Amino acid sequence: MTTDAQPAPHGGPLAPTPRAERSLAPDVARGLVLLGIAVANVPFFLYGRELGLLFKPVTDAAADPWVNAVVATLADNRSYPLFALLFGYGLTQLLTREQARGAEWPDARRLLLRRNLWLIAFGAAHGVLLFFGDILGTYGLLGLALVLLIRASGRTLAIVGWASFAFLVLAGIAEGLSGLLAQIPGGGFSTAALFGSAAAETYPLAVLARAGEWTLGMLSVPFGGLGLLAPMILGLWAARHRVLEQPARHRRALALVAGIGIPLSVLGALPMALALLGVIELSPFVEPFAAMLHAATGAVGGAAYVALIALIVGGRGSGRELGSPTAKPRGPISRLLAALGQRSLSGYLTQSLVFVIVFAPYGLGLGATASVAEATQIAVITWLGTLIVAAALAAVDRPGPAEWLLRRAVYGRRR
């Protein structure tokens, strides 16, 4: 979205931003991070295995430790904070654009609230019908809180942001409890024990299981998911300064964030990555602290990835700001990623649909036999497929089906 659109008459109807006027860097980042989300989510569709570090299925495949280590270093606990940052950025862009069109705060606030409530509804449908690990509902719920902060002072944002970051760090403990859980008499926990919907024999049983799992996940947002409010607030602050729309003006700051954040993210993931490779062994009491480090540096890494993407997409400046209606992706890769980023909701939902068809017992049933490496290959192929479909839709200037439905729900028939 962009804030460069000409203001409409006071009190004019609210309407979504035309795709041609959207900011480039956030869309490229959204398109790319969907790959990280795909490879991070796909292990949860495997079942009948014991769970190891970061709740990853334990298999005998030789390639799995390497795949797990790479995903843990680059995607796990990094992709969702990155998307949360972009969520906060986009929500602020929406408010800024409506204010530029002459909308009063009460009208803009109703639009923001309506959008987040519909996002929760989309999340409920996704979580119950396809994937218990849905993030849309969490984003929508936190988005309601973000509406209360969207006009707050920088000092208030800093206080709430750091407090929520502390929650994010503490929530990392949950991912490090697998070692302690394995000490419980009766052996380690299986995927079916914790995520019953993955192993459900029929689709109706899976829906019932996912309904409980998704509801439990939403109820836990104030305890675990609240940490994602930190990158959202960072995105809100960055949008106020148009950092991603004007990367040339913020080049030094972006370079600093990317240059420090990416190495820090890799170093913070190193203990978990080495343990997944079998190079070191984490004791049950050390594992939660390694998971905390993994989660904390993952949030930093998510911000650093966005900064790096903005630097690459923005180049050295061409006299036109990214985000203006005349700015276009510079190469075929940027165009592909931006096309998917503009249809990221459809891309995200498509991943879950494909994974259910391929891995569920009532689908092709590969979740019982596929290794993590094989599942990751399927995840990458799925992402590439969504990339191609998004490019085809972009060629005829059509939105993704989920984007069309969300916009119709939020804005009605108004244009």
On whether the CB atoms of residues 265 and 297 are closer than 8 A, the answer is: yes
Residue scoring higher pLDDT (14 or 28): 28
For residue 346, what pLDDT band results from cuts at 50, 70 and 90? very high
The region that residue 322 occupies, defined by phi over 0 for left and psi between -120 and 50 for alpha, beta otherwise, is beta
Burial of 161 (0-12, 13-18, 19+ CB in 10 A): buried
3-state secondary structure of 131: coil
Per-residue model confidence (pLDDT) at position 181: 57
Per-residue model confidence (pLDDT) at position 217: 86
CA-wise closest residue to 232 among 144, 153, 297: 144
CA-wise closest residue to 6 among 97, 93, 109, 111: 97
Of the listed ranges 150-159, 300-309, 313-322, the least confidently predicted one is 313-322
Residue 90 has pLDDT above 60, yes or no: yes
Which residue, chain included where needed, has tokens 């299986």? 190
For residue 322, what pLDDT band results from cuts at 50, 70 and 90? very low
Of the listed ranges 31-35, 77-81, 196-200, 313-317, the least confidently predicted one is 313-317
Name the token pair of 271.
């203990």
Neighbours of 415 (CB within 10 A): 9
Where along the chain do its domains lie? Answer: 64-334
Per-residue model confidence (pLDDT) at position 5: 37
Of the listed ranges 52-56, 212-216, 293-297, the least confidently predicted one is 52-56
Residue scoring higher pLDDT (172 or 387): 387
The phi and psi torsions of 192 (rounded to 5 degrees) equal -65, -30
pTM greater than the 0.95 cutoff: no
* 70-76: average pLDDT: 94
Q: Which amino acid is at 260?
A: I
Tens-digit pLDDT profile for residues 113-139: 999 999 999 999 999 999 998 999 999
Tens-digit pLDDT profile for residues 226-243: 888 999 999 999 999 999
How much is the mean pLDDT over the chain?
85
Per-residue model confidence (pLDDT) at position 325: 40
Tens-digit pLDDT profile for residues 307-316: 999 998 875 4
Residue 320 has pLDDT above 50, yes or no: no
CA-wise closest residue to 71 among 45, 42, 39, 49: 39
Tens-digit pLDDT profile for residues 264-309: 999 999 999 999 998 998 887 888 889 889 999 999 999 999 999 9
Per-residue model confidence (pLDDT) at position 338: 93
Per-residue model confidence (pLDDT) at position 323: 43
On whether the CB atoms of residues 292 and 173 are closer than 8 A, the answer is: yes
